[in-house]
């Protein structure tokens, strides 16, 4: 084969390969992307925030002791219903009763001293007055110095009477304090409710609550007629919640039933979570208190609960599937002049980096066009459409991967939905 022939053959081969590549590219460009298509429609939307927490009674009292001593009588057990004023616990009163007796004796002694001081004052006063009368009748019988000494004795005894009176008051105060301490050996219920926690047994030693509050807590009385659940809400969601918002609460102990609730309190201070990000920052949550409107009778404190707080609702508004909303780069900014004029501040945002939210609208030729939209609240599966669509459009609603790769002018092919397929099979069955 001549050299010229070889070159001819090589050229033909190259042309053939190029033609095959061009044909493949043309076929590829004409290949349609399989997508799910939905028509923009109106429907009711409910925006909500879901959080978890535990059931707690609205009113409860942690009972602890103000004195130390051995528990001689435990009058209740866990689960008992108690009324306000009912005896709960008795602590050994012997040392406190002895203190009362000592204080009572101190009062008696102080009163006796006061009586003696009063008698001495009376005697000194009488002596001074008699000597004063004698001197008035005969100055030579009583000297001025003697009168001064008698007057000083009166003043001293007057002071002794005052001191005795204060001693009596001090002794009475000591007696009252001893009686109060004795009274603390008997602990009564301060509210009506159920004993929901009991941490002690008869014979144990009660310690003062001021020393260690957790260790000193003996029992808890809870009013189970008004129940609440405290849930932790992320900082990104708590601003959407307001006092008075309704909620649907699911208790793990009653999996087949939901209960209605209402937000009654939102904490002003955050509760930092135990989980941390890679940067070391902790998750920041806020406590939201939800009061149960129809709690079950068998509810117990600390039941696990999941609350769905309704933050907003819309009736018959244009909506799009959440998966249909995507973002694309703003072409207007992308093609804008990025030259910075000396002496002027730099743009607030980097040109060409602003993303626009929107959907892909399917045209009559089955080619898609990106159309910016403004959305409102988010329901469970749909966004509210505020502007950008009029309700007549057919939009791409899936899959996520397909939407991610779509561009203006892409040819798409609608895939049948699961519902349509099921209905077709049902219609074809004998």
Taking only the tens of pLDDT, the chain with its 430 residues reads 555 444 444 554 555 555 454 444 444 455 889 999 999 999 999 999 999 999 999 999 999 998 899 999 999 999 999 999 999 999 999 999 999 999 999 999 999 999 999 999 899 899 888 888 888 888 888 888 888 888 898 899 899 999 999 999 999 999 999 999 999 999 999 999 999 999 989 899 888 876 666 778 899 999 988 999 999 999 989 999 999 999 999 999 998 899 999 999 999 998 875 544 444 567 789 999 999 998 888 888 889 999 999 999 999 999 999 999 999 887 654 554 433 333 344 444 444 457 899 999 999 999 999 999 999 999 889 999 999 999 899 999 989 899 989 999 999 999 876 444 444 344 444 4
Which of the 8 DSSP states describes residue 241?
-
- Domain-by-domain residue ranges, the chain? 33-44+317-336+349-423, 50-56+228-313, 94-183
Bridging pattern class, strands 33-39 and 412-414: parallel
Asked if residue 134 lies in contact with residue 141, where contact means CB atoms within 8 angstroms, the answer is: yes
Q: Which pLDDT score is estimated for 129?
A: 86
3-state class (DSSP) for residue 334: helix
Distances (CA, A) of 277 to 53, 236, 273, 281, 286: 22, 16, 11, 5, 18
34 — phi, psi (to 5°)?
Answer: -75, 125
Exposure b/e, 50-80, CB count within 10 A at least 16 = b: ebebebbbeebebbbbbbebebeebbbeeeb
Distance (Å, whole) CA 387 – CA 359:
12
Q: Tokens 């590219």 belong to which residue?
A: 25
Sheet containing 186-188, strands listed edge to edge, beginning at the edge strand earlier in sequence? 186-188, 87-91, 69-74, 205-206
Q: Which pLDDT score is estimated for 354?
A: 74
Bridging pattern class, strands 186-188 and 69-74: unpaired
Q: Which two tokens stand for residue 349?
A: 């945002």
Torsion 86-92-94-96 (CA) sign: negative
Which of the 8 DSSP states describes residue 142?
S
Q: Tokens 């930092």 belong to which residue?
A: 272
Gap between the terminal Cα atoms of the chain: 71
Distance (Å, whole) CA 328 – CA 322:
16
Report domain 50-56+228-313's class.
mainly beta
**CATH 3.40.50.300: does it fit domain 33-44+317-336+349-423?**
no
State the DSSP string of 73-117: EE---TT-EE-TT-EEEEE--HHHHHHHHHHHHHHHHHHHHHHHH
Q: Which pLDDT score is estimated for 23?
A: 45
């Amino acid at each position: 084969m001549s050299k010229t022939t070889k070159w001819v053959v090589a050229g033909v081969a190259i042309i053939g390969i190029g033609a095959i590549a061009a044909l493949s590219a043309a076929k590829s460009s004409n290949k349609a992307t399989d997508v799910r298509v939905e028509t923009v429609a109106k429907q009711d939307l409910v925006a909500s925030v879901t959080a978890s927490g535990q059931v707690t009674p609205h009113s409860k009292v942690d009972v602890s002791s103000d004195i130390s001593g051995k528990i001689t009588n435990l009058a209740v057990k866990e689960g008992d219903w108690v009324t306000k004023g009912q005896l709960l616990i008795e602590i050994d009163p012997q040392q406190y009763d002895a203190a009362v007796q000592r204080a009572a004796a101190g009062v008696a002694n102080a009163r006796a001293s006061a009586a003696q001081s009063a008698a001495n004052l009376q005697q000194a006063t009488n002596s001074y007055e008699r000597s004063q009368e004698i001197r008035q009748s005969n100055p030579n019988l009583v000297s001025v110095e003697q009168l001064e000494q008698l007057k000083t004795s009166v003043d001293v005894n007057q002071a002794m009477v005052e001191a005795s009176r204060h001693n009596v008051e001090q002794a009475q105060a000591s007696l009252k304090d001893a009686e109060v301490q004795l009274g603390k050996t008997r602990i009564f219920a301060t509210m009506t409710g159920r004993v929901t926690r009991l941490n002690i047994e008869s014979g144990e030693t009660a310690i003062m609550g001021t020393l260690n509050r957790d260790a000193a807590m003996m029992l808890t009385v809870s009013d189970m007629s008004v129940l609440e659940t405290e849930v932790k809400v992320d900082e990104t969601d708590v601003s959407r919640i307001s006092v008075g918002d309704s909620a649907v609460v699911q208790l793990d102990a009653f999996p087949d039933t939901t209960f209605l609730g209402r937000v009654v309190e939102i904490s002003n201070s955050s509760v930092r979570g135990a989980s941390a990000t890679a940067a070391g920052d902790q998750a920041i949550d806020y406590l939201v208190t939800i009061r149960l409107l129809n709690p079950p009778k068998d509810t117990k404190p600390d039941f696990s609960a999941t609350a769905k707080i309704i933050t907003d609702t819309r009736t018959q508004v244009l909506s799009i599937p959440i998966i249909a909303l995507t973002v694309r780069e703003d072409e207007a900014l992308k093609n804008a002049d990025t030259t910075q004029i000396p002496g002027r501040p730099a743009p607030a945002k980097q040109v060409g980096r602003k993303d626009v939210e929107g959907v892909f609208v399917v045209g009559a030729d089955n080619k898609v066009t990106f159309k910016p939209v403004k959305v409102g609240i988010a329901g469970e599966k749909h966004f509210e459409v505020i502007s950008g669509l009029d309700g007549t459009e057919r939009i791409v609603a899936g899959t996520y991967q397909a939407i991610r790769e779509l561009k203006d002018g892409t040819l798409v092919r609608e895939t049948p939905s699961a519902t349509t397929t099921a209905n077709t099979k049902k219609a074809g069955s004998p």
